[in-house]
Amino acid sequence: MSLDLRYPALSDLKTACKGRVPWFVWEYLDSATGTESVKTRNRAALDSILFAPGMLKGPVTPDLTTRLLGQEHALPVGVAPVGMSGMIWPGAEAALARHADTARIPYTLSTVATRLPEEIGPIAGDMGWFQLYPPKDPGIRADLLARARKAGFHTLVLTVDVPGPSRRERQLRAQLAIPPKTTPSMLWQVARRPTWALGTLRHGQPRLRLMEEYLKLDGNAPSTAHAGYLLRAAPDWGYLRELRALWDGPLIIKGVLRPADALQLRQEGADAIWVSNHGGRQFDGAPAAIHCLPAIRAALGPEYPILFDSGVESGLDVLRACALGADFVLLGRGWHYALGALGQRGPSHLLHILREDMIANMVQMGIARPVQARNCLIDPPEM
Ligand SMILES: Cc1cc2nc3c(=O)[nH]c(=O)nc-3n(C[C@H](O)[C@H](O)[C@H](O)COP(=O)(O)O)c2cc1C
């Protein structure tokens, strides 16, 4: 049976993923923080964005190609950074990077990935972005940036919505520590998921390889608290200025929700901002990210690049974000649901779903470009 018949939507991939990864992995991937109200808000807010389709437009040929930061992409969709990606599905980082290169969409490697920039950069080709959790130690920071650059990552993403760890209660209940510490209950969960278990045996136990290297450099025992001290500063505007001076390629700031911050970031030399509430994983009091978009677009004007993520589950959601001011839309969990469901075939099937859904909805609206979805908005906000 074709993948389209078995998994026509992201929700089908999500259900299948849940049955193929151990429970503690599922809780890591799917959870948010607190009561998870942000996840609910993201979904409700996206669903509340409605369009009045145009009519009698004749044939429409949707064109999804999108230029961002000087590069051509097949569609305005990309892969957001996900830490410990290789724990969620064995070989995830390489699979996503390979798919991104082939499909011509960006792939963002997290600082806390299970693979090194040197391994993944060449696989991502010219589609690689590197996400930075800002190291406190200036020596480590300089080294990390140089390594990312040398490995082929031309665009840097600084995440600013993680000033400290969040309490992910579902992860605590699942007894998940990063890096993972094996408990008897986890072994039982793994035994019940043989494909994941065999894949993990083949790829080796998931570890924070990059962090481990710096901890060894420092000559100290690799405790998570120590790793946090060395590798995660709570950055301020001064830190951003230093980073801007150090990185000569495009710099994107991820985790922005306020127009005033967006304006200041542009002034400080950021090349793009990424509107996000981290998929609800950091702060349960945050607004739906999509609600923050229009005011940020209005503040920055029509030309400045804005990226968006948090709660996107379909091609229609991509169009909703484009209608409210995003130039580019990213997914975090979605790619991993796809990997969990279908292994290596997952990412291309998810991209197929998103592309077909975008096209079907653009034809319905009578628009040829995603940005034109704005013209069909019911109650368009000031932008
Ligand atoms: C399991 C998991 C790990 C994540 N790790 C990171 C990370 O290392 N760095 C980062 O900037 N964002 C991280 N994020 C946030 C994503 O980049 C993205 O903002 C979020 O997943 C978007 O929401 P979505 O999952 O609804 O698409 C993570 C998200 C998930 C689900």
Tell me, what's the pLDDT at 179? Answer: 62
Tell me whether residue 319 is in a domain: yes
183 exposure class (CB count in 10 Å sphere: 0-12, 13-18, 19+): middle
Q: Look up residue 233 and give its two tokens.
A: 């500063």
Tell me whether residue 124 is in a domain: yes
Tell me whether residue 191 is in a domain: yes
How far apart CA 352 and CA 60 sit, in angstroms, is: 19
Tell me whether residue 266 is in a domain: yes
Tell me whether residue 381 is in a domain: no
**C-alpha distances in Å from residue 32, one per residue of 39, 83, 152, 160, 202:** 7, 14, 32, 17, 30
Q: Look up residue 342 and give its two tokens.
A: 């279908």
Q: Does ligand 1 lie within 6 Å of residue 331's CB atom?
A: yes
Tell me, what's the pLDDT at 215? Answer: 79
Domain that holds residue 54: 3-376
Tell me whether residue 366 is in a domain: yes
DSSP symbols for 156-193: EEEE-S-SS----HHHHHTT--SS----HHHHHHHHT-
Residue nearest to atom 15 of ligand 1 (CA): 278
List the end-to-end C-alpha distance of the chain, in Å, as a whole number.
46
Tell me, what's the pLDDT at 75? Answer: 98
Q: Residue 106 maps to which CATH number? A: 3.20.20.70
* Residue to probe by mutation, ligand 1, list 281, 308, 318, 350, most atoms within 8 Å of CB: 281
Residues of the chain with pLDDT under 50: none
Q: Look up residue 368 and give its two tokens.
A: 């040829």
- Residue 42 contacts residue 49 (beta carbons within 8 Å): no
Tell me, what's the pLDDT at 66? Answer: 98
Tell me, what's the pLDDT at 319? Answer: 98
Q: How many domains, in total, are found in the chain?
A: 1
Cβ count near 241 (within 10 Å): 12
Model confidence pLDDT, tens digit, residues 215-255: 776 555 555 556 666 667 789 999 999 999 999 999 999 99
Residue nearest to atom 29 of ligand 1 (CA): 82
Tell me, what's the pLDDT at 351? Answer: 98
Tell me whether residue 382 is in a domain: no
252 exposure class (CB count in 10 Å sphere: 0-12, 13-18, 19+): buried
Tell me whether residue 299 is in a domain: yes
Give the CA count within 13 Å in the CB-facing half-sphere of 245. Answer: 7
Tell me, yes or no, if the pTM score tops 0.85: yes
